[in-house]
């Protein structure tokens, strides 16, 4: 199989549940030119090198990809035009990236805000319990819609100051954005794919408009939420400009729940797929944090992020990535590189030396990892403890359209009962 074919197969929707055999093929050429001037990086060592190379930019204005090729990031930039040109931290390079990340982090984590994440623990636990209480008397739930989604979305709304009552509205917009713009599969050139992209753009514009109004309100009437503090800050970097705040609010609202949903679902899926691991984790819950990292290695919720491009000719692994090419660091593939992880396709909740790319690597390493870890840990631990004799109804489950943010669309689970 040529790298081009392996890449196309891995990206196809019909292979969403298991792109890994194609990634194995693709990894035979760890840095390969695949399509439309895109270079796919699938070797662990090569990916680690490029994730830390300042000649690899995340600024979408350098990327050769057009809007049709989906960088939702590009659509985000397009829709920001009305509000002045702005990009979020994930689609910026230093120094803008570093400044925005500092301006946001001041109101999210240590050293300036050391207690916020921990203080969410009791809310998260309560939510998990409430959702399982609702399932009492039933014998089947959809882990995605009934459990994995409602927890992180409520948590990120509370942190950011986005009213949870608006969730039914922005849920649809984010769904369209993900399906239409965060998909790099070959289907994006079909009529259906183009219609999805058009709808994704429209919905992204609506989301940006909604968050613009919210940010404007926080500028007029400062409050205690993270977004409000970001635009009213008197810290060393000053307040975040409202246009940057809108771009970062969009990013934080989406990134702040979507990958967590996919990771909770993949945790339940992986544990139930692997006989013995449910009993192991239920009996020794101290193994759960390591098991979550192992799921992130095996089923990375962010498979890659399509914003990167080469600012110069970059020589690596016997290949030259020409200046101006798109560079896809495919975390999901490098996380199963056998030269780095022995038995890479095996779920080993006690795996040692598990430095995977599930959180990315380099300056764009996940901003919300500590919060996500807390959420996934409580959600998984509570489910394993309370659901008796749980089992998968369909394996593999149906997957969502996006191949950037990959996860099951539904995950139906049968159980005997929900314990108190």
Contact residues for ligand HEM, defined by CB under 6 A: 58, 89-90, 101, 156, 251-252, 255-256, 259-260, 263, 296, 301-302, 305, 358-360, 364, 366-368, 371-372, 376
Task: Decide whether 127 or 156 has the Cβ nearer to ligand HEM.
Answer: 156
Q: Which residue is nearest to ligand HEM (CB)?
A: 368
Task: Decide whether 335 or 415 has the Cβ nearer to ligand HEM.
Answer: 335
Question: Which of 133, 159, 82 is CA-nearest to residue 372?
Answer: 159
Task: Decide whether 298 or 301 has the Cβ nearer to ligand HEM.
Answer: 301
Question: Which of 383, 405, 376 is CA-nearest to residue 142?
Answer: 383
Distance of closest approach, residue 104 Cβ to ligand HEM, in angstroms: 7
Compute CA distances 111 → 105, 108, 236, 381, whole Å.
9, 9, 14, 29
SS3 (DSSP) at 155: helix
- The count of residues in the chain is 420
Task: Decide whether 291 or 418 has the Cβ nearer to ligand HEM.
Answer: 291
The DSSP symbol for 408 reads B
Peptide bond into 111 cis (omega under 30): yes
For residues 249 and 306, give the distance between their C-alpha atoms in angstroms, rounded to a whole number.
Answer: 19
97's enclosing H/E stretch is helix 96-105
Distance of closest approach, residue 101 Cβ to ligand HEM, in angstroms: 5
Distance of closest approach, residue 368 Cβ to ligand HEM, in angstroms: 2
Compute CA distances 148 → 93, 137, 151, 158, 262, whole Å.
32, 19, 6, 17, 8
Task: Decide whether 201 or 297 has the Cβ nearer to ligand HEM.
Answer: 297
Strand partners, 327: 39
The DSSP symbol for 148 reads I
Distance of closest approach, residue 361 Cβ to ligand HEM, in angstroms: 8
Residue 24 backbone dihedrals phi, psi, to 5 degrees:
-60, -45
| CB within 8 Å of 304: residues ≥ 6 apart | 328, 329, 330, 331, 332, 404
Task: Decide whether 291 or 301 has the Cβ nearer to ligand HEM.
Answer: 301
Task: Decide whether 32 or 301 has the Cβ nearer to ligand HEM.
Answer: 301
Question: Which of 396, 150, 151 is CA-nearest to residue 266?
Answer: 396
Distance of closest approach, residue 315 Cβ to ligand HEM, in angstroms: 22
Distance of closest approach, residue 414 Cβ to ligand HEM, in angstroms: 25
Task: Decide whether 383 or 415 has the Cβ nearer to ligand HEM.
Answer: 383
Distance of closest approach, residue 192 Cβ to ligand HEM, in angstroms: 27
Distance of closest approach, residue 356 Cβ to ligand HEM, in angstroms: 10
SS3 (DSSP) at 302: strand
């Amino acid at each position: 199989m040529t790298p081009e074919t392996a890449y196309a197969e891995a990206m196809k929707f019909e292979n969403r549940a298991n792109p890994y055999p194609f990634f194995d093929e693709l990894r035979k050429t760890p840095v390969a030119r695949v399509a439309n001037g895109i270079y796919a990086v699938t070797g662990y060592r090569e990916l680690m090198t490029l994730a830390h190379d300042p000649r690899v930019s995340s600024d979408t204005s350098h990327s050769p990809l057009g809007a049709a090729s989906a960088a939702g990031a590009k659509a985000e930039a397009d829709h920001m035009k009305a509000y002045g040109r702005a990009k979020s931290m994930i689609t910026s390079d230093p120094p803008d990236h570093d400044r925005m990340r500092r301006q946001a982090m001041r109101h999210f984590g240590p050293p300036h805000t050391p207690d916020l994440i921990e203080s969410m623990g009791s809310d998260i636990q309560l939510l998990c319990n409430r959702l399982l209480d609702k399932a009492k008397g039933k014998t089947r739930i959809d882990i995605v819609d009934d459990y994995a989604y409602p927890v992180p979305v409520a948590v990120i709304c509370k942190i950011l100051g986005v009213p949870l009552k608006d969730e039914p509205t922005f849920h649809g917009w984010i769904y369209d954005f993900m399906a239409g713009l965060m998909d790099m599969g070959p289907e994006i050139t079909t009529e259906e794919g183009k219609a999805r992209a058009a709808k994704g753009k429209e919905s992204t514009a609506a989301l940006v408009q909604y968050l613009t109004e919210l940010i404007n309100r926080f500028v007029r009437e400062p409050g205690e939420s993270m977004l409000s503090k970001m635009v009213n800050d008197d810290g060393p970097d000053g307040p975040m400009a409202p246009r940057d705040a809108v771009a970062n609010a969009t990013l934080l609202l989406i990134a702040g729940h979507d990958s967590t949903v996919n990771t909770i679902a993949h945790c339940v899926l992986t544990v139930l797929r692997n006989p013995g691991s449910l009993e192991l984790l239920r009996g020794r819950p101290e193994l759960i944090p390591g098991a979550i990292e192992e799921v992130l290695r095996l089923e990375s919720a962010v498979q890659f992020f399509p914003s990167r491009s080469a600012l110069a000719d970059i020589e690596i692994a016997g290949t030259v990535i020409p200046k101006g090419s798109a560079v896809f660091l495919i975390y999901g593939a490098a996380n199963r590189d056998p030269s780095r992880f022995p038995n890479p396709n095996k779920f080993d909740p006690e795996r040692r030396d598990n430095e995977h790319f599930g959180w990315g690597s380099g300056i764009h390493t996940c901003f919300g990892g500590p919060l996500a870890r807390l959420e996934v840990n409580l959600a998984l631990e509570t489910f394993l403890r309370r659901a008796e004799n749980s089992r998968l109804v369909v394996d593999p489950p149906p997957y969502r359209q996006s191949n950037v943010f990959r996860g099951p669309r539904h995950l139906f689970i049968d159980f005997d009962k929900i314990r108190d």
